[in-house]
Amino acid sequence: VQDQRIGDSMYRVLYDAPMVPEVVYQLTLRPLAILIAALIQIYLIEYTYGDISPELVWVAWSAFPIAIAITFPFSGLIRRTNQTKRAAGSSTTSSMEESLDSITAVQSLGGMDREKERFAERSEESFLRERYAIVVWAIV
């Protein structure tokens, strides 16, 4: 733990800690709500169209397992994308913290342009990873 940079700890406090309630909701209540909603929708389709079009009822019953089978393989991709995004954000936060921590030394030695460039590169990478994560979520 001691060899981790302060930026990683700050990033975790700023972003990970507030996400705990959302993670609990996503892991516990959301799957149950989705299952109940799917069962209600299938029941309504069966009640409404069961006599007229039984094929539609079979399509509705098969759509739920097919959707799970299609989206399940993408869980690893989503996890890796989010881990990369968090690492880029942590790196940006570390860079900013290091620059602010030694601002007087950097300015006195004339390294401010180099520090700006380093922070800009890390910030650009962080934003790129954030956009990539949004695209992956939109596709899946």
- Residue 7: the pLDDT is 60
- Range of the structural domain that residue 77 is part of: 6-139
* Mean pLDDT for back-to-back runs of 10 residues, the chain (140 residues): 59 72 84 91 91 90 86 82 80 72 68 77 82 80
32-45 b/e (C-beta count within 10 Å ≥ 16 → b)? eeeeeeeeeeeeeb
- Asked, for residue 127, whether it belongs to a domain, the answer is yes
- Asked, for residue 1, whether it belongs to a domain, the answer is no
Q: Which two tokens stand for residue 117?
A: 């460039």
- Residue 80: the pLDDT is 86
- Asked, for residue 97, whether it belongs to a domain, the answer is yes
- Residue 1: the pLDDT is 45
- Residue 106: the pLDDT is 63
How do residues 110-139 score in pLDDT, each as one tens digit? 777 777 787 788 888 888 888 888 888 787
Q: Which residues contact 88 (CB under 8 A, 6 or more apart)?
A: 122, 125, 126, 128, 129, 130
